[in-house]
Structures are given as C-alpha cells and as structure tokens.
C-alpha cells in the first residue's frame, strides 16, 4: 500500500535556505522512496492572506516552481500543481468551514498572535484580522484531505494546523457517517525542521534574516553567511558549537562525519571568520549545480507552465470524483437523483450501526465516545495525551469479550482493561446500569459481526 505525502509552500516570497531545509528537501527526498505517492503544490491562495502585491505573488509562483524542479522534483513521478488550478479545493474548503467550530479557529496560533498584538497596542482585538487569516487552517485542511494525504511534512510551527485538519476531517466523517477523509499525520525532520536565521531567530522573511537559496547567486550567499551573528570569542578561543547558529546551519547540510569534524574545529578555536568561510564553501558546493538549473528554468517559464498544467490535470482526476461524492454526502445532489415521487415507495436508508467516534476535548486531550446504532452515547473514554493511545484502546475494546470488559457497579457502567477503568457511561445515561450493560454489550457484539 502506498503512503501519500503532501506538502506545499506559500507563494508570497523568494525561497530561502530555511524553506529548503525545513520543507522542500525532506519532501523531495520522501518522493523518491518506494511506496510513496507524492503531491506537491504551490499554495497561491494562501499567499493572498499575507500579500496584496499581485506582482510579488506572480513572481513568487514562478520562483518557487523553478526551485522545486531545480532541486530534483520529478514531475513524472509526483503530482505537482498550483492550488489555484484546482477549483475543487476552495469548494471543499467551504464544506469544511460549515462543520468547523469557531472555537477551534479561535485557538489558532496566527490568529491569537494577532489578537495579542492588538490588545498590547490598545486597539480592537480583531483590528486588521481578515477572514482569510482567521480561517486559514480550514483551507489548509482542504488542501490535505482533498487528496487524503497520509503524511504532511511541515515545520514545527505548522503542527497545530495539522492537528486542526485532523479534527475538521474527523468532524465531517462523524456528521456524514462515513470515513470520507483519511486523518493526516505530521512528518518532521527532527534536526532541521526549523533553521535559524542570521540573528538566531527562526529563518523567516518576516524577520529579514534569511539566507538566499538561489537568488543573487554565489555572491549573495556569501554576503548573507558573513552576516550571521556570533559571539565575541577570538580566534584560538574554544567556541560553543551547540550554542552557535552557524554550526546549526552547517549541521543541517552535512553528514554526521562532516558535522563532527566542523564541531571539533570550533571547539579547538577556529575563528568565526574562517568558520563562516567554511560554511559558505560547503553550501556553495551543494547549491551551485541546483542554482544553474534554477536560472535555466527561470529563463524559460513556458516549460514550468507546461509542467504545472499537466500536474493540475493529474490532480483533478482525483479531485473531481472526490467532490462529486462529497456533494452527494451533504445533500447537494442532482435533482434527477432525488428521492422517489409520491407514488413510489421511499427508500429506507441503511443505518450507521454502533461506532466509535474520537475527538479532542476543550483541554486538548484525545478521547472517544462509543455510540449505539441510534446515536445514544454508551461510553465516554478517559483522556489521553497521545491520539495513538486512544486509537489503540478503541481497537482493544472491539477485540475484547463484552462480558469480561463491561461491569455494572453502583456508580454506573464501566469498561475495565487490565484492572484499569478506561471508559464509563456518560453522566445522565438513560436507564439503569443493568439495562445499559445489556445494550452496550449488544452494540459491541454487533460491531464485531460487521
């Protein structure tokens, strides 16, 4: 079975070294692995949230597409497209918006940061906040679940958005009674997921502390590296490699042996100027061949356009039938497919059956409910910090004997595994404990027989 990997970059600026290390490189490497079905896209709708300069957005789309192709992305092997070339994505975003709680969006880091800044300035909390910024996580969720991605390589600052995508997809699945969407998992390259910039903060265009990837050529690369902030230790004095932004960047692009050798040189007193030159030499050796391919592509944008159009056609072969199915699910059906006329017998819909429904509670913990076929909540689990723990427990509950698992006590119905209460009947459960016990056992048996 293939694993579908999906990632994208917002087209609001020129790719820098941090973009390459944190997103582009690991994603391209993943696309070459056996059993990987890779999707890569230019997130140009997302760019409109951050940028109202049309020329900048257009230029960035070209630069980012050229970058991905220059670093080795194979459009014959992967699906490479622009977000705006897939009209089904904004349509899906609206369907997801209609099932997403506002409270979930209130907790998004980007929105909360804007509110905090406004409060600190003494202005209206939502001053300058657009609906694009507020609902950004919903559009990101649509990007991901449209193609039922299994893994999404992102930086650490995007982990929350992946968790939100899971919550939103799960909510849709629950409301419409089927697993329409796969719940995506985050994929992070631990050592280099967030690369420091020239001043030690996260490398970001917002901080103006980036190192260019290709633009400006070797001269711009060297000039940026020479501006990396270091401490005041003189040549000959031992350096703190682990505390050095320069070493962190070097390590992100080196083998373990190369990084160890460079660290030893720093600890033995290598001067900062020599260290910066060593970093430049190392990066230039790596980037020069890719830079040459990049400038060739930039000079021939028609070649890039052909690749993107072919990728969009490939992506829409999946998106069009997916949206057809989702429109049917929410009731946006062709009138010819409506219920029979008054003279024809109405078709009875098949029941959903007993089922587990996982969710995230207000405190951020992962829990699940066990529902009867009629929708009555029979069990509510304890809280788990890890969603995988909750998932493993649901599988165990389905596998265990209902007679051994469930107990009726004076406090009510409980589910006990290995001597530990893992779920209980919810507060206000209808009927006495014995009746609940019988109904819950029957519901578990029915699941086992499906």
The response to whether 19 counts as a known ligand-binding position is: yes
Does residue 69 share a domain with residue 132? yes
Residue 283 lies in a domain: yes
Residue range 22-37: mean pLDDT, rounded: 86
Domain that holds residue 411: 355-448
Dump pLDDT digits (tens) for 70-83: 999 999 999 999 99
Residue 336 lies in a domain: no
Secondary structure element (H or E) that encloses residue 288, with its range: helix 272-298
Does residue 185 share a domain with residue 60? yes
What CA–CA distance (Å, rounded) separates 256 from 266? 15
Out of 249-263, 276-290, 414-428, least confident range: 414-428
Does residue 235 share a domain with residue 132? no
Residue range 134-150: mean pLDDT, rounded: 96
The response to whether 290 counts as a known ligand-binding position is: no
Q: Say if CB 412 and CB 424 are below 8 A apart.
A: yes
Does residue 319 share a domain with residue 280? no
Output the DSSP codes for 423-448: EEPPTT-SS-HHHHHHHHHHHHHHHH
Residue 429 lies in a domain: yes
Q: What is the C-alpha end-to-end distance of the chain, expressed in Å? A: 23
The response to whether 18 counts as a known ligand-binding position is: yes
- CA-closest candidate to residue 214, choices 428, 447, 19, 437: 19
The CATH code of the domain that includes 411 is: 2.30.29.80
Residue 330 lies in a domain: no
The response to whether 32 counts as a known ligand-binding position is: no
Does residue 104 share a domain with residue 29? yes
Residue 329 lies in a domain: no
The response to whether 106 counts as a known ligand-binding position is: no
The response to whether 157 counts as a known ligand-binding position is: yes
The response to whether 446 counts as a known ligand-binding position is: no
Does residue 369 share a domain with residue 259? no
What CA–CA distance (Å, rounded) separates 425 from 408? 10
Residue 414 sits at φ, ψ, to 5 deg, of -135, 155
Residue 69 sits at φ, ψ, to 5 deg, of -70, -35
The response to whether 203 counts as a known ligand-binding position is: yes
- CA-closest candidate to residue 378, choices 349, 395, 354, 359: 354
Residue 343 lies in a domain: no
Residue 404: predicted pLDDT: 82
Q: Say if CB 262 and CB 254 are below 8 A apart.
A: yes
Give the Cα-Cα-Cα angle 407, 410, 412 (nearest 5 degrees). Answer: 55
Does residue 316 share a domain with residue 261? no
**How many domains in the chain?**
3
What CA–CA distance (Å, rounded) separates 278 from 253? 12
Out of 65-74, 116-125, 158-167, 317-326, least confident range: 158-167
Share of the chain above pLDDT 70, in %: 92
The response to whether 224 counts as a known ligand-binding position is: no
Residue range 113-131: mean pLDDT, rounded: 95
The response to whether 12 counts as a known ligand-binding position is: yes
The response to whether 2 counts as a known ligand-binding position is: no
Over the chain, what is the mean pLDDT? 88
The response to whether 175 counts as a known ligand-binding position is: no
- CA-closest candidate to residue 420, choices 393, 442, 444, 387: 393
Does residue 120 share a domain with residue 32? yes
Does residue 233 share a domain with residue 320? no
The response to whether 164 counts as a known ligand-binding position is: no
The CATH code of the domain that includes 124 is: 3.40.50.620
Residue 200 lies in a domain: no
Q: Rg of the chain over CA atoms, in angstroms?
A: 27
* Chain-centroid distance, C-alpha 137: 9
Choosing from 263, 281, 298, the residue where a domain stops is 298
Does residue 31 share a domain with residue 152? yes
Dump pLDDT digits (tens) for 234-266: 999 999 999 999 999 999 999 999 999 999 999
Choosing from 280, 298, 316, the residue where a domain stops is 298
Does residue 105 share a domain with residue 249? no
The CATH code of the domain that includes 287 is: 1.10.240.10
What CA–CA distance (Å, rounded) separates 153 from 160? 13
What CA–CA distance (Å, rounded) separates 107 from 134? 10
Secondary structure element (H or E) that encloses residue 378, with its range: strand 377-381
Would you place residue 342 in the very low, low, confident or very high pLDDT band (cuts 50, 70, 90)? very low
Residue 249 lies in a domain: yes
Residue 1: predicted pLDDT: 66
The response to whether 11 counts as a known ligand-binding position is: yes
The response to whether 67 counts as a known ligand-binding position is: no
Does residue 105 share a domain with residue 22? yes
Choosing from 309, 324, 339, the residue where a domain stops is 324
Residue 429: predicted pLDDT: 54
């Amino acid at each position: 079975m293939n694993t579908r990997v999906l990632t994208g970059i917002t087209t609001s600026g020129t790719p820098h070294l941090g973009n390459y290390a944190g997103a582009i490189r690991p994603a391209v490497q993943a696309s070459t692995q056996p059993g990987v079905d890779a999707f890569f896209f230019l997130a140009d709708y997302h760019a409109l949230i951050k940028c109202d300069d049309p020329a900048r957005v257009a230029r960035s789309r070209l630069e980012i597409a050229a970058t991905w192709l220059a670093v080795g992305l194979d459009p014959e092997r992967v699906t490479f497209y622009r977000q705006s070339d897939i009209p089904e994505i904004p349509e899906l975003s609206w369907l997801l918006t209609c099932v997403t709680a506002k409270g979930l969006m209130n907790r998004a880091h980007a929105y909360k940061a804007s509110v905090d800044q406004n409060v600190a300035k003494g202005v209206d909390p939502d001053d300058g906040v657009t609906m694009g910024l507020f609902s950004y996580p919903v559009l990101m969720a649509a990007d991901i679940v449209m193609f039922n991605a299994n893994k999404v390589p992102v930086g650490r600052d995007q982990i929350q958005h992946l968790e939100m995508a899971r919550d939103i997809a799960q909510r849709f699945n629950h409301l419409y009674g089927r697993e329409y969407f796969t719940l995506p998992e985050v994929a992070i390259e631990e050592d280099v997921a967030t690369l420091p910039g020239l001043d030690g903060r996260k490398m970001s265009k917002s901080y103006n502390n980036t190192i260019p990837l290709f633009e400006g050529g070797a001269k711009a690369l060297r000039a940026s590296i020479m501006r990396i902030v270091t401490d005041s230790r003189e040549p000959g004095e031992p350096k703190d490699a682990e505390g050095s932004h320069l070493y962190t960047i070097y390590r992100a692009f080196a083998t373990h042996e190369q990084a160890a050798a460079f660290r030893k040189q720093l600890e033995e007193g290598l001067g900062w100027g020599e260290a910066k030159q060593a970093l430049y030499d190392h990066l230039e050796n790596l980037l020069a061949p890719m830079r040459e391919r990049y400038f060739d592509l930039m000079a021939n944008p028609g070649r890039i356009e052909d690749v993107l159009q072919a990728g969009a056609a490939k992506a829409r072969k999946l998106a069009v039938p997916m949206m057809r199915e989702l429109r049917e699910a929410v009731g946006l059906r062709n009138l010819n497919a409506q219920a029979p006329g008054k003279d024809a017998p109405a078709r009875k819909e098949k029941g959903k059956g007993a089922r587990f429904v996982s969710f995230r509670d207000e405190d951020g913990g992962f829990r699940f409910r066990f529902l009867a076929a009629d929708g009555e909540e029979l069990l509510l689990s304890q809280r788990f910090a890890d969603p995988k723990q909750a998932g493993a427990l649901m599988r165990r509950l389905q596998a265990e004997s209902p007679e051994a698992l469930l107990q009726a006590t004076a406090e009510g119905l409980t589910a006990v595994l290995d001597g530990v209460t893992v779920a209980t009947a919810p507060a206000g459960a209808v009927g006495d404990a014995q009746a609940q016990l019988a109904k819950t056992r029957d519901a578990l048996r029915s699941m086992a027989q499906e």
